Chains A and B, each alone.
Chain A
Amino acid sequence: MAYPDVRQTADRTAGNRLLPLRQRAVQADPDRPGTLASGHRACQGCGEALGARWVLDAAMRATGGRLVTVNATGCLEVFTTPYPETAWRVAWLHSLFGNAPAVASGVAAALRAQGRTDIRVVGQGGDGGTVDIGFGTLSGMFERDDDVLYVCYDNEAYMNTGVQRSGATPPAARTSTTPALGPAPGNPFGQGKDVPRIAMAHEVPYVATATVADPRDLERKVFRAMAFRGARYLHVLVPCPLGWGAAPHDTIHLARLAVQTGLFPLFEAEAGEVVAVTRLPGPKVPVAEYLRRQRRYAHLFAEPPRTDVIAAVQAIADRNIARYGLEVVPDA
């Protein structure tokens, strides 16, 4: 499903009534799969619920509903399956915290042995379950090139258990285990894992990053991923109002700012090489615009402000812009 490179009124909406029906997002379709039904117990403004709904609906559309999902322990699993209810309208298995990739690999192996390779497998989990405790099994899945699309919903901390720091927590962010105290408040600089790049280092068929700020981009990447066989990885930035200390209605806006500052680069890679990037839509947004909207960075804007830290964060954004070539091409 190819989306034209349109820039027009309402291109931020899922529906975009100015596009032909077949070019609209899956979410705009009244007959969309509705894989993640309403009534689940997520927080107001939860980026992960939004991201998971879009990803799974796109995956269901791409596979004609022939999909099995394996879900790591975490917010998504907890708020969707409070026994005796489930929000999932897809074959769904909750694994453990650290083994969703391995369990998904097992499902794929079984389907292969049964001659049912028409049924596709999606493994999913939060950043904790993907970047930290599930990292070994994720790498194993990548290394074996198991036929699984693994999706990481990254809200940059262990939100389910009370906002503790993970290997995906960005520098300077306050979490309950990296408090805003002392001379270097928040999460230290120089730590953390860039899992999309680690996935690329495994040279798996397809790696992409996306956010909940652009549903059509996210859906397109899910469709693209489903066109490949083998191990694929999708890393989706999903703001968490509670954990980030942001307003619930700012979830999408924050995701967009993360992209527009360069802090969250959007790109696709195949077999270890970047093949496409999404350039910034306009001049880069200074990181302070993004940081100031989140109370997890409030300590940077106290008296006196930590302009040194903000500058260090800006340096990270600038490095991403340079590394991925995200600059807007000036009009000729």
Chain B
Amino acid sequence: MRDQVEGSHAIARAVVRCRPQVVCAYPISPQTHIVEALAAAVRTGELAPCEFVNVESEFAALSVAIGASAAGSRAYTATSSQGLLFMAEALYNAAGLGLPIVMTVANRALGAPINIWNDHSDSMSQRDSGWVQLYAASNQHAADLHLLAFRLAEELSVPVMVCVDGFVLTHAFEAVDLPDAARVDRFLPAFRPRQVLDPEHPVSIGAMVGPDAFTEVRYLAHTTALRATDRIPALAAELASVLGRPVPAPLHPYRLAGAETVVVALGSVLGTVQDTVDELRQGGRKVGALGLTAFRPFPAAALRQALTGATRVVVLERAFTPGVGGIVTADLRAALADLDVSARTVVAGLGGRAVTRDSLRRVLTAAHEDALAPLTFLDLRRDLVASAERGA
């Protein structure tokens, strides 16, 4: 049923359709509306059987999800920014234990300085945790990706985070088609855990593994991630046929045919990028866009294939590594290693600064003319940094 709803609400409805048995979360802007909606759904019985646990911290939130998942229940939580970091230990724990928890990360900048607005520094900081990371370009995409996430997680026994731009998507009202229960149940069967805490068949989960076997256990995490690379497109296609609409994953290509310059971007900024691409194409510039829906595992082979014809790539980053530059750029360069494609990094929209068509048009035009520096901080206010740099 198609309706004009807030992004958070759409995500909550998608999660309700996925029938988690345990929902546990700690409030942090801008994730709050999602868990509030789920609390209401549990109270009214719309989501049942389900235990909604009001936890005392984000660390507790993921911990409760870990216990629930290990005990054989589908578990869900959501967080942002500082909360994601506060549960960082548990992130690695969940991935290492192969628990198919799904978590929404309402992307928000990491402090200091404290900032409640959108960028990708939070999820990017946990890119090595072993969690699958999917990035939504719109609220429809966000809702659909949660369905994909639960299915993928349980099939491979790996946790999945669905990254949704905080405020920009979570607090935006737009039309979303919310699938009915029958459709979702067709795509997402009941959870059958690979191993479970069961008094009838007791096992010890979480043993101490020494140097003699640790490498092998970790290697298996790597192969699981590689399997996810294969399964994501297949599951996305299956979901698309169930829903009757495209579910772009792992890639979200736009006007790549004949594109010399391609903008690679993650998340909601892709929409603005697409509008800018249309403008530039109208002006005769062969520009295209490639959204990455899957960032972890990094879809290297698919990316290579998509960018083989391009001359240059502009990677639009919503986070960066101080002293180094782009994060996505590094993975992209590795994937395109022996192709004759140059890459430029544009760090944009940090801490919620708007990424505007005007600014994108400028940098893309410059890039297209090979006049863009390797690393640009979009719309940097030089007046603000000048005095600090003078003093340095």
Contact = CB atoms under 8 A, between A and B. Distances in A.
A286 interface: no
Interface in B124-148: none
A42 interface: no
B225 interface: no
B208 interface: yes
Chain A at the B interface: SS class: mixed
Contact of B204 (A92, A96, A115, A144): A92
A104 B67 contact: yes
B65 A106 contact: yes
Contacts of A83: 207-210, 213
Interface string A163-187: 0000000000000000000000000
Interface of A: 65-68, 70-71, 77-78, 80-84, 86, 88-96, 98-99, 102-115, 119, 136-137, 139-140, 143-144, 146
B38 to A, nearest CB: 14
B208 A113 contact: no
B131 to A, nearest CB: 16
Nearest to B214: A83
A99 B206 CA distance: 14
B356 to A, nearest CB: 42
B155 interface: no
A109 B53 contact: yes
Contact of B55 (A66, A111, A115, A140): A140
Interface in B195-209: 197-199, 201-209
Given A137-B56, A139-B56, A106 B207 contact: no
B64 interface: yes
Contacts of A67: 199
A82 B210 contact: yes
Given A102-B59, A105-B53, A114-B21, A95 B67 contact: yes
B314 interface: no
Given A102-B60, A103-B66, A114-B21, 14 more contacts: A68-B71, A77-B208, A81-B204, A82-B207, A82-B208, A91-B202, A92-B206, A95-B93, A103-B63, A105-B67, A106-B66, A109-B53, A110-B67, A137-B57
B260 interface: no
B75 A106 contact: yes
A70 B22 contact: no
Interface string B51-79: 10111110110011111111111010000
11 contacts: A95-B63, A95-B66, A99-B60, A102-B55, A102-B64, A103-B64, A110-B22, A110-B69, A110-B75, A115-B49, A140-B55
A148 B60 CA distance: 15
A71 B72 CA distance: 18
Contacts of B54: 144
Nearest to B70: A93
Contacts of A119: 199
B89 interface: yes
A66 B199 contact: yes
A88 B204 contact: yes
A95 B90 CA distance: 9
A96 B89 contact: yes
A81 B207 contact: yes
A88 to B, nearest CB: 5
B77 to A, nearest CB: 10
Contacts of A115: 49
B50 interface: yes
B24 interface: yes
A95 B59 CA distance: 12
A276 to B, nearest CB: 30
Interface in B301-325: none
A110 B89 contact: no
B50 A113 contact: yes
A302 B53 CA distance: 54
Contacts of B65: 106
Given A92-B204, A96-B89, A144-B54, A137 B59 contact: yes
A140 B60 CA distance: 8
A96 B210 CA distance: 17
Contacts of B59: 98-99, 102, 136-137
Contacts of A112: 51
B203 to A, nearest CB: 7
